């Protein structure tokens, strides 16, 4: 299959330079990149630093003065009630 793409000049220069450095045709370099490319819409896993940054940003959204939950409030036992036993 043949596909014609209009590449930005800087990207074209990168492909040409890499092809020259490797001593291969430019189309081989482009094909190699396409094989490595993730599917459209796919996301790469976040790094630990990216996760930390996102969690810090989320924490900044919590208004000042909101009290923290106690250990009892977040315990497993506090998440279930007797009604959960009755619904089995």
Lowest mean pLDDT among 19-28, 64-73, 74-83: 74-83
CB atoms within 10 A of CB 29: 19
- Convert the pLDDT of each residue in 9-65 to its tens digit: 999 999 999 999 999 999 999 999 888 877 777 777 889 999 999 999 999 998 889
Q: Is the pTM of this model over 0.75?
A: no
CB 88 within 8 A of CB 82: no
Residue 27 corresponds to which tokens in the numbers above?
Answer: 């189309």
């Amino acid at each position: 299959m043949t596909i014609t793409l209009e590449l930005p000049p800087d990207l074209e220069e990168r492909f040409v330079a890499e092809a020259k450095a490797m001593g291969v045709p430019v189309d081989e370099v482009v094909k190699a990149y396409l094989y490595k490319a993730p599917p459209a819409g796919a996301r790469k896993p976040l790094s630990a630093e990216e996760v930390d940054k996102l969690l810090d940003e989320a924490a900044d959204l919590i208004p000042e003065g909101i009290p923290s939950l106690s250990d009892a409030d977040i315990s497993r036992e506090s998440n279930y009630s007797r009604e959960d036993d009755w619904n089995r």
